[in-house]
Chains A and B, each alone.
Chain A
Amino acid sequence: EDQVTQSPEALRLQEGESSSLNCSYTVSGLRGLFWYRQDPGKGPEFLFTLYSAGEEKEKERLKATLTKKESFLHITAPKPEDSATYLCAVQAHQGGSYIPTFGRGTSLIVHP
């Protein structure tokens, strides 16, 4: 059974204080690992897809990396507007439907 564990559950940072969020996963035949951002009362917004170990992707202050067991979302010099819940999901071969499995998310609060 595919499993996704995110840590920490919650993270409070001061503006400018860099940190990383972790997503550990167990999946047979990784098709892709996804990071999403979710603001309160909104649907998740797509950030990145990573496909193979060693891959990295960047977007503004965010950088996502992938190993065979985990992914990190690095946040450099965060700003208050980066406050949100960050969700990780993995997609495996599951018949033909590619149903993703989501983690519980990390709630990030960045204080000014």
Chain B
Amino acid sequence: GAVVSQHPSWVICKSGTSVKIECRSLDFQATTMFWYRQFPKQSLMLMATSNEGSKATYEQGVEKDKFLINHASLTLSTLTVTSAHPEDSSFYICSASLAGETGANVLTFGAGSRLTVL
């Protein structure tokens, strides 16, 4: 089955530094990847849609200069949290889209990355 690898699984950084999270599709090519943020006991909040070879589409209220997304190849998308602050601490999850029956796209998720900003 489709596998999405996300790295690192957890990271602790100092306020003001930048952190990069990688999301790789291991056995398939993903033209579209989604980045989510999840707060404790809350559902997934879509941050942006990453399309290979083009600029990411950000959801309303998500700062594109703070959350830089790069989808340079069909198997890799990266999320960089720039100048991180404690309020950026969260669980970030990526997913890749696979076309299923009747065109509905099944999302395969990475294991998530827990970011803690001190």
Contact = CB atoms under 8 A, between A and B. Distances in A.
A91 B111 contact: no
B44 A102 contact: yes
Nearest to A42: B111
Contacts of A107: 41
B114 A100 contact: no
B46 A49 contact: no
Contact of B106 (A46, A87, A97): A46
Contact of B107 (A31, A34, A103): A34
SS of A interface (majority): strand
Interface of A: 31-32, 34, 36, 41-46, 49, 51, 87, 89, 91, 97-100, 102-105, 107
Interface of B: 4, 6, 32, 34, 41-44, 46, 49, 57, 91, 93, 95, 97, 100-112, 114
Given A42-B111, A44-B107, A91-B104, 14 more contacts: A32-B102, A32-B104, A34-B106, A36-B109, A41-B112, A41-B114, A42-B112, A43-B4, A43-B95, A44-B44, A46-B109, A98-B103, A100-B105, A104-B42
22 contacts: A32-B105, A32-B106, A34-B106, A36-B109, A41-B112, A41-B114, A43-B111, A43-B112, A44-B109, A46-B107, A46-B108, A49-B104, A49-B106, A51-B104, A87-B43, A89-B107, A91-B104, A91-B105, A97-B32, A99-B34, A99-B46, A100-B107
